[in-house]
Amino acid sequence: MAVRPIVIYGDPVLREVSQPVEHFNQELKDLVSDMVDTLKKAQGLGLAAAQIGVLRRVFIVDLAAVDIAGSLKVFVNPEILETSGEAEFEEGCLSFPGIYQKIIRPASVKVRAWDVDGNPFELETDGLTARAILHEYDHIEGKLFIDYLSPLSRTMLRGRLKKLSAAS
């Protein structure tokens, strides 16, 4: 379909809560197709619709670049059912080019969502897949990975964040 521009930090759309998908139709399939093309070109691991300026509760995760067994997963109207444990790992975000920070998140997640055809599914996972799901879920809630940083870490990033914000 098409590669869309990725919204960069500073754009207020990243802080908005996304709306539920009401119709599983061609428009949704086109959106997901554009998201897949955009993610592949950006060489990322996940992308939320909000990151291309569409405030719908949709995100994709594709760990194939870092996991031979990884495959593209589409999450429409996801709900986090439970999380457990805790793990610290370095994260980046396509909306924050060049910025990577250690973030503490739950180590595992159980999520319920629908695929692009409207079929419900549940997934229980851990490791990088859980982290990617939780990161993208935050995007549809208007939350960003920098929200998890300590005040000191955020202060140290202030200049770089200002530059990104000014460029958006």
Q: Which residues are catalytic?
A: 136
Give whole-number Cα distances, 150 to 5, 13, 58, in Å. 30, 24, 28
Long-range contacts of 28-31 (CB under 8 A, 24+ apart): 28/56, 28/58, 28/76, 28/116, 29/116, 30/1, 31/56, 31/58
At position 101, the amino acid (one-letter code) is: Q
